Chain A
Amino acid sequence: MPISTPPLSHRNADVAFSADDLVYRYGERTALESLTFSVPAGATFGLLGPNGSGKTTLFRIISTLLRPDEGTARVLGRDCASQPNEVRRLLGVIFQQPALDAELSITENLRVHAALVGIARDEADGRIHAILDQFDLVSRAHERVKTLSGGLARRADLARGFLHRPKLLLLDEPTTGLDPVARRDLWDALDRLQRLEGTTLLVATHLMDEAERCDEVVILDRGRAVAQGSPVSLRAALGTEALWLESEAPEALTNLLVDRLGLSARTFGRRVLIEHEDPAAVLGRIYDAAGDHIVSATVRRPTLEDVFVTRTGQAAAFSFADS
């Protein structure tokens, strides 16, 4: 059933990031369990998973702030644990909260950051102006960050992340707390910059619509990669349409459908998935046989959420609710 892109070789120059059997434990709790995947250079790559699936831990390892207990993480071939300084030079990171000083203006913030990332002083102001221009922030350059809206502050933070032209930009749920318009603006700005600079974007998210924008996603569940591939191919693995039933007694319903109607049905939490070439056609038969057990029935094209649910066996831990 799984259709996933095979991991590329680590020696391949076209790999921006690779995780190889990564293990990380917080005491007794295992946050990452032999996590293996790779990110092609130039891609927008999604890291999809609910809270606690290991996204943040992985980001800390890539950012050289944590050392993995086992396995290796490489950014363009450089080992995050043993070559942290080289990795840091290639890396830009956008955190959940903007890394900007509220009391300083956008320009002042970017100047400090330019010093931190080692941009020569005589180049810094030109570079800052160029990036602010690309993010449409020139007119706000001298406003203090505390006076900016959440969306603008986030855009200024993106400018900070792009300032030193990183090869790999990590984005940790970058649209948290933004309204839909600001969210779209942010993605538009990201797309523009990526086209211009060829930056590889690695985006951690629990939002399905953001994952859908990615060229490729890896789905994380409790520190493991349960699926990797393009959103289209992952959804295609579930067929063109799927029938979902919601039920008070999902186990009983599943047994009934399998035993009496000979259908292929699986239980996920309160929901039952029926895989069939023409779901609408069997719906009548299902209601005749088991209508009492059914709260609702939905026929729809598979979503990434369905992919997550079927791959992990978990009821959806996240939803479209806030997208």
Chain B
Amino acid sequence: MLRVVRALWQREILKFLRDRARVVGALVQPLAFWVLLGLGFYDSFQMPGGSDVSYLEYLFPGIVALILLFTAIFSTIYIVEERQTGLLQAALVAPVSRLSLVLGNLAGGVTLALVEALLFLLLAPLVGLTPSFVGLLVIVLAAVSMATAFTALGFTIAWRLDTTRGFHAIMNLVLLPMWILSGAFFPAEGVPLAVRWVMYVNPAFYGVAALRDGLYLPEAAPSAAGLPTALALGLSVAFAAAMVGLAVWTVQRRSTVAA
């Protein structure tokens, strides 16, 4: 099984590296988002409670989350394309467990998301953030859990879809709101109660909270939503486990190929 996982993982990495537009886009787009939004709200942003945090600094972990979410999910869009060529069927007809197919794809998506997120994290000192060793551990764990959760979610969705257009539509409908309401963009304390509750049930919220905590540890992060780091991390990991379970279940139940 490890052999299969490794082969599929290698394929993901190779494909990514050969797609120059994807390599550049994956790095430049979040950077542009960060700079443009960060500067755009530079004077209008004010942390609830009056602490002195610039929007560039506030947004930083949010951009890390953006990279994780989108890289992870879009690494699975190939599944939809592979359904149209014989590639997916060939894998399904091979004498390998469905679990190893899921894990191979997961490994690829998680690696890509993680590497890109860590590259972006190198910019943290620009906003005066230098994570401690413990903080870095928390960041990596949070990043792995988010990348895993969203690769698995993307896999589950891609498995059921026939067109990449449908995939994009669903992603815009699900992924973008999830990111916006994750605390990446604005703190939960400053929004109306109803929206705050939507944020609290958004699983990405806890990943972002853990990322933010990790950047400041051992000090308290601004807008940690009063949540212990361990709890945020635990919820993010639990969400990842649930999504992996969903992906495995989907593949085992729907191993046939749509007509």
Contact = CB atoms under 8 A, between A and B. Distances in A.
Contacts of B18: 103, 144
B136 to A, nearest CB: 33
Interface residues of A, number: 35
A112 B8 contact: yes
Interface in A77-107: 85, 88-89, 91, 93-101, 103-104
B15 A103 contact: yes
A115 interface: yes
Contact of A65 (B7, B85, B256): B256
Contact of A97 (B86, B96, B256, B257): B86
A93 B89 contact: yes
Interface in B3-38: 3-4, 6-8, 10-11, 14-15, 18-19
Contact of B256 (A60, A114, A115): A60
B15 A101 contact: yes
B256 A112 contact: no
A116 B92 CA distance: 9
A195 B150 CA distance: 49
A112 B93 contact: no
A116 B6 CA distance: 10
Contacts of A101: 11, 15, 87
A177 interface: no
Nearest to A57: B259
A121 interface: yes
Contact of A104 (B15, B90, B257): B15
B7 A112 contact: yes
Given A65-B257, A99-B87, A116-B4, A88 B94 contact: yes
B95 A65 contact: no
B132 interface: no
B172 interface: no
Interface string A9-20: 000000000000
Interface in B203-259: 255-257, 259
A91 B90 CA distance: 11
B11 A99 contact: no
A210 interface: no
B163 interface: no
B7 A63 contact: no
Given A88-B94, A104-B11, A115 B6 contact: yes
A64 B15 CA distance: 29
Nearest to B2: A115
Contacts of A60: 256-257
A26 interface: yes
Contacts of B257: 60, 65
Specify the main secondary structure of chain A where it touches its partner.
Answer: mixed
A115 B3 contact: yes
A64 to B, nearest CB: 7
Contact of B89 (A65, A104, A112): A65
Contacts of A115: 3-4, 6-8
Contacts of B85: 95, 97-100
B164 interface: no
Interface in A31-68: 56, 60, 63-66
Contacts of A160: 90
A113 interface: yes
A89 B95 CA distance: 6
A99 B96 contact: no
A251 interface: no
B94 A112 contact: no
B85 to A, nearest CB: 5
Nearest to A170: B93
Which of the listed residues A64, A99, A114, A118 has the most CB atoms from chain B within 10 Å of its own CB? A99
Contacts of A66: 256
Nearest to A109: B11
Nearest to A92: B93
A116 B7 contact: yes
A91 B7 CA distance: 21
Interface string A209-224: 0000000000000000
B90 A99 contact: yes
Nearest to B256: A65
A117 interface: yes
**What 9 pairs across the A-B complex have the smallest Cβ distances?**
A95-B86, A99-B86, A115-B7, A99-B90, A116-B94, A88-B95, A97-B85, A89-B95, A63-B93
Given A65-B256, A93-B86, A115-B3, 11 more contacts: A26-B259, A65-B92, A88-B94, A93-B90, A104-B11, A104-B14, A112-B8, A114-B7, A115-B6, A116-B7, A121-B3
Interface of B: 3-4, 6-8, 10-11, 14-15, 18-19, 84-87, 89-96, 255-257, 259
24 contacts: A56-B259, A60-B256, A63-B89, A65-B93, A88-B95, A95-B85, A95-B86, A95-B89, A95-B90, A99-B87, A99-B89, A100-B87, A103-B14, A103-B19, A104-B14, A104-B15, A108-B11, A112-B8, A116-B7, A116-B90, A116-B91, A117-B94, A118-B95, A144-B18
